[in-house]
């Protein structure tokens, strides 16, 4: 174990400040790239899920034809977006650039986090940095893509067509639409970090595979309930949404068991 773990509290704060500044610099750099490429990012990425020819809608309609499930085909809804503030579009430009910068810089943010906690790790654990950063980054980007191509289209279809009265017309502010898209993408990206988070918590003894198995049914019910709300009324689309999340939960149980074994081995053999 490194002697750095005995450094004074203020030294830890200074180190944290340094790593946070570096992480912020990476995010701002990614944001600058997104700011320059905003025309493509806005029209070809962010606004694409509201168009009828979006790839997800086409695939769902093809699957609907093949499976003879007409309700699976998503089509016929329109989104009219409005900007009601003088500086609204400029503010969105800045905000979206920062969000895109965070997504682009995510691996480097993880790298700075790892560098901060590395002094308190063993030499063997430090050598796992590539595995940790690589797996966490892959999971995050996989979750973001899953959110963008699956959850966002289904959510837009549900929210855009939901009405409590035919007398009410749905007109959406641009900020509301973009907030929905970016929130879903970021949320699913972070949700896919569940296996990494469970592994780390299990290494600290804060989570156990026994506890996760105890609440497995609750987790499955929650996953199915959420997928039933945001998807069309057919079992196929509900499976598409719920299965990856359920598999992540099962993977997390396995990683928790492995982390528990490693922790027990480390306690019994501290050298």
186-242 pLDDT per residue, tens: 999 999 999 999 988 888 888 888 989 998 888 888 888 877 776 666 677 678 888
Which residue would you say has higher pLDDT here, 75 or 103?
Answer: 103
Nearest Cα neighbor of 202 from 191, 211, 214, 193 is 211
Q: What percent of the chain has pLDDT over 90?
A: 39
Q: What is the reported pLDDT for 177?
A: 93
Does position 170 have pLDDT exceeding 60, yes or no? Answer: yes
The helix/strand/coil state of 128 is coil
| CA proximity to 33, closest of 78, 100, 84 | 100
DSSP 7: S
Average pLDDT, the chain: 85
Band of pLDDT at residue 249, cut at 50, 70 and 90? very high
- For the cut 60, the answer to whether the pLDDT of residue 157 exceeds it is yes
Question: Per mean pLDDT, which of 26-40, 110-124, 151-165 is the most reliable?
Answer: 26-40
The secondary structure of 25-83, three-state, reads: HHHHHHHHHHHHCHHHHHHHHHCHHHCCCCHHHHHHHHHHHHHCCHHHCCCCCCCCEEC
Residues 6+ apart with CB under 8 A from 101: 26, 27, 28, 29, 30, 31, 32, 33, 34
The residues facing 82 across adjacent strands are 173
Place of tokens 């982390």: 259
In 95-224, which ranges are E strands? Answer: 172-173
* Residue 111: predicted pLDDT: 92
The pLDDT tens digits for 48-58 are 998 888 998 88
CA distances from 239 to 73, 150, 242, 247, 253 (A): 15, 12, 5, 11, 21
Calculate the CA dihedral of residues 212, 140, 51, 159 and round it to 10 degrees: 30
CA 171 – CA 160 distance, rounded (Å) = 9
Instruction: Pick the closest to residue 93 from 23, 178, 180 (CA basis).
Output: 178
């Amino acid at each position: 174990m490194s002697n750095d773990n005995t450094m004074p509290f203020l030294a830890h704060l200074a180190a944290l400040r340094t790593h946070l500044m570096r992480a912020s610099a990476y995010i701002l750099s990614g944001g600058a790239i997104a700011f320059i490429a905003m025309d493509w990012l806005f029209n070809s990425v962010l606004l694409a899920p509201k168009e009828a020819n979006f790839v997800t809608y086409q695939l769902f309609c093809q699957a609907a034809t093949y499976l003879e499930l007409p309700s699976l085909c998503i089509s016929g809804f329109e989104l009219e977006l409005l900007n009601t503030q003088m500086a609204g579009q400029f503010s969105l430009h800045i905000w979206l650039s920062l969000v895109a910068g965070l997504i682009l810089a995510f691996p480097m943010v993880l790298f700075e986090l790892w560098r901060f906690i590395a002094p308190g790790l063993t030499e063997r654990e430090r050598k796992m940095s590539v595995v940790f950063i690589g797996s966490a980054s892959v999971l995050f980007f996989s979750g973001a893509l899953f959110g963008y191509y699956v959850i966002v289209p289904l959510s837009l279809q549900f929210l855009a067509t939901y009405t409590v009265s035919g007398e009410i017309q749905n007109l959406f502010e641009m900020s509301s639409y973009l907030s929905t898209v970016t929130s879903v993408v970021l949320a699913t990206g972070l949700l896919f970090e569940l296996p990494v988070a469970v592994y780390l918590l299990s290494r600290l003894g804060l989570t156990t595979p026994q506890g996760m198995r105890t609440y497995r049914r609750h987790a499955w019910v929650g996953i199915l309930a959420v997928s039933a709300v945001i998807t069309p009324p057919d079992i196929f689309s509900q499976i598409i949404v719920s299965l990856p999340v359920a598999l992540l939960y099962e993977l997390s149980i396995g990683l928790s068991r492995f982390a528990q074994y490693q922790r027990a081995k480390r306690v019994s053999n501290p050298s």
